[in-house]
């Protein structure tokens, strides 16, 4: 078996149990912990078989800006958080003027989205990286 680091030989990568990790901790509706965010306001993650769909709304001047839905396969997150075996998602959103490459994971019940934005519209804006945190809104009683 080919490898480029010892981690590629981790038996967990071929362990069927790894593929059946619980994914509920990722799915659902998530709101930015910062109500005044200038970035991502909301993220909704749904599971459909082995795929996840990710819907993001950016903060806009007149309300949320809906991003195109992105579909992604989960990645096992084997080593982080003292052996917690969880999933992470990698999702790329394509706009005419920009590509937004993200990775999404849950840490202690908080959803973390790290976004790498690349502009291609000649606006001279710098490509940039940003990280934001999200919580699950409590269901209304």
Partner 1 sequence: MEFAQLCDRVEIDNVSEPLDVSSLAGVWINSNPDTNGIARLEFSDVDGKLSVRVHAIDPDGLIDWGRAPAKLFAASPKSRTTAGFTCTYDFGFAEIRLQAMIMKGLIVLAQFHKFKDNSNRMEFFVREYFAVVHDRY
Pick the closer one to partner 1 by CB: 46 or 76: 76
Which is closer to partner 1, CB of 14 or CB of 27?
A: 14
Q: How many CA atoms lie within 13 A of 28 on its CB side?
A: 17
Please, which residue, 122 or 141, has the CB nearer to partner 1? 122
The answer to whether 30 and 42 are in contact (CB under 8 A) is: yes
Q: 3-state SS of 75-126?
A: EEECCHHHHCCEEEEEEEEECCCEEEEEEEEEECCEEEEEEEEEECCCCCCC
**Closest separation in Å from C-beta 103 to partner 1:** 5
Where does this chain bind partner 1 (CB under 8 A)?
1-10, 13-14, 18-19, 38-41, 58-61, 65, 67, 73-80, 88, 90, 93, 95-98, 100-101, 103, 105, 114, 116-119, 121, 123-131
């Amino acid at each position: 078996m080919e490898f480029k680091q010892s981690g590629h030989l981790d038996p967990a990568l071929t362990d069927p149990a790894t593929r059946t990790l619980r994914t509920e901790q990722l799915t659902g509706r998530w709101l930015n912990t910062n109500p005044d965010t200038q970035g991502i306001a909301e993220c909704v993650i749904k599971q459909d078989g082995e795929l996840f769909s990710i819907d993001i709304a950016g903060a806009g001047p007149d309300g949320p800006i809906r991003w195109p839905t992105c579909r992604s396969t989960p990645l096992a997150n084997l080593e982080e958080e003292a052996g917690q075996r969880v999933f992470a998602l990698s999702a790329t959103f394509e706009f005419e003027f920009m590509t937004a490459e993200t990775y999404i994971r849950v840490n202690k019940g908080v959803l973390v989205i790290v976004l790498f934005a690349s502009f291609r519209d000649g606006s001279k804006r710098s490509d940039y990286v940003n990280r934001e945190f999200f919580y699950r809104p409590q269901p209304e009683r």
